[in-house]
Structure 1
């Protein structure tokens, strides 16, 4: 007999993947009992702060195989799911529910309102309209399999509730409850490691330059086969921006093993070689013989950064009075090195403690990606960051959440035939 404590689906975790799965299931099966359990006072916390409060909903990459290449972990497993639920589907879903979107120049997708609240209101409204119960400040303490079928979920206050199907969307496994529950049911757990972070650097060449950015820079790590390119931003901590964050994602485990102490090499001129940079100096000697090197930045380098790098290359000489024709071969070579292979010692990392992404989580071989169901326990499903999947910055992590949540919600509905 069904009681008030019996559900067709319990979703543990009130984030993007959990909401999307619950809505998918409930809209397809009116009358089914669905509840989302969120330990915090507010749901969709990461949606709220993502993209600087604008919410980078997805990325306008519409080929599943090309899209999967943006995921350092999970790329192979996501090709099939992206064929079933792609950024196109995500965009159509939100726009059909009253949230107009826009694609920016770098292909990131945001609500036209430039406010994450538009996405939060949409998801809350759709959940309410579909009859999904949302319980805030409600943490899961333990889960037990029932002898016949389903699960008993023990809440932190001691209340037991029961469900035929359980979906875990508890975020990255730095949140131990998600990892512990998965391990309880026989799942292997890949150790969590920060995946998107700023390089902590203390260096006089960038001191006082916070806020400056270079749109097209190259980034490498000495001793590792890691390279990236894109905007690099100078911060109070050191270096950040997409070029740095992409590299931190691809090198998450290797950089953790090095305890975040390593040498980063920045090409402030993008992909220009040292020879081409020096050729630029030679041309400047001809074109602007009366100009001072310090006051004549090249290659799109911001003026204050250019002056700092010129001073470093001059190495004690009077850089302020140096004109292009008087730039010696030795100093030219040093300046080219500062511009094209600028070496920084990284001593730690910095990240937004609420927004940052981790790699690690439930081993992907333990999950059926056609349904997102556990290969260990029938009726147990996973979606979102609890899986060992992470993407680079740009809307990719939300897309994997929408996709895995959608597939889980559909599969759960198909399994019970409500």
Structure 2
């Protein structure tokens, strides 16, 4: 009996010892919460970089259910991402193909013929009257003057028509129409050189400056002109020298990107426009491009300081390349005010050609004749809409035919 009791006591003691040892082992294997600091010291042999060097195993994974550590700002190079799926390369934007020049000429003529050009309609109606007396001729003069043809050209056209109608004695609408067409073509003057000087020189690109007052669409015109030149297989570069209007440089760059044309611009608002123009031409020379188009800030013709600045831009460009074209952008709806603008700009930068915008939907087509007579400078480009390809070289006969169609 005593022997049996002793055995039971020994078993109980043994079980107690085993339980104590097991509990001690479990406690030593657990990691108490907060054992490792949340911020590591790179020099700490346990929690820092030295821990790995010493072979110490540091557990980086957060406990289950906790948020991941905050972003450290470290950028992992693609070649070190291991099994991580490589990000696909961004696709290059599809380039647009500008409409050929001849195609847009035909479309613009058709659009002008359908526009609200009261000039041709009124003249044809008057000349087709059964009786053309002094009252009719006075109405014709008034119609031409309202169309901004100008006093001198108006008198020339009326006198020539009166003489021809008197000599022929004809009242046939077709014959009168032909007489009017011929006299209008003479006034528009098809003998003027309307070609754009955009051929590359031996070692330098052609340089084209685009100028004008605020709001006439200079930046848009530069973008559209770039499309015309790209359609002619020209290598073009744009210079964003309009550094005062917010987002002008970005607007121009967007036009260029659509047809694969680079843009030189400044990221600083109010930068010196002459400096930007200089760098654009320099980049054009280094890149051996065909044409550099320089967009300039809009300015009122009566602001002397701004006009002087425009002259400075041109002089700075000419330190390294000749300015082949200075195109003045005019809004056809401004009428006689456009003539005043043209005179002042011509005195400052020697205008070589006119870009006439917003010619659709206006009865003031006579401004073409008035401007050319005043400056002795041809209209070289016309715009008849807001589409990307709504800009085309000006043709005297095509313009008159559209007016009288």
TM-score tier, shorter chain, comes to under 0.3
Q: Which has the higher contact order (CA 8 A, sep 6+)?
A: 1
Larger helix proportion, structure 1 or 2? 2
TM-score under structure 2 normalisation? 0.23
